[in-house]
Amino acid sequence: MKQRGRIAAVLVATGTIFLLAALPVFAQDEEEGATPAPINEETEEGASGLEPAIPIPQEAEAEVIADWTYRYLVPTGLVIALVVILATSIQYFTNVVRKRYRIVEE
């Protein structure tokens, strides 16, 4: 096997491993942790029917923003891996097919 073939095989294997390692990231939900149980009148006031002296307003939870590595680095790495795989495939077919077939001059 020539050195180009070895390099191409290593790049394809590395790209495949990187892609397989990154797939579980996309399977995760945006929110981490369990969602709290909804608060209704029975759980807030209790079974006795007592009302609180000072009502506490419900605060909206802040939206969780994903880390920059999750938002930018992982998709960029996947795009680079796909470009390398496509370039390797195109280079293989152009080099191998060009050597197998010759144009017959008329």
Percent of the chain scoring above 90 in pLDDT: 15
DSSP state of 28: S
Query: Is 8 within 8 Å of 88 (Cβ atoms)?
Result: yes
In a domain, residue 87? The reply is: yes
How many CA atoms does the CB half-sphere of 80 hold within 13 Å? 10
Q: Which parts of the chain fold into alpha helices (H)?
A: 3-27, 41-45, 68, 74-100
Greatest CA separation for the chain: 100
In a domain, residue 94? The reply is: yes
Instruction: Tell me the average pLDDT of the chain.
Output: 79
How does residue 43 score in pLDDT terms, banded at 50, 70 and 90? low
- Tally of CB atoms within 10 A around 78: 17
How does residue 104 score in pLDDT terms, banded at 50, 70 and 90? confident
- The whole domain housing 5 covers 1-27+70-106
Q: Given the structure tokens 């209790």, which residue do they identify?
A: 46
In a domain, residue 65? The reply is: no
In a domain, residue 4? The reply is: yes
In a domain, residue 61? The reply is: no
Please tell me the total count of domains within the chain.
1
pLDDT score for 46:
54
In a domain, residue 49? The reply is: no
In a domain, residue 85? The reply is: yes
pLDDT score for 26:
72
In a domain, residue 32? The reply is: no
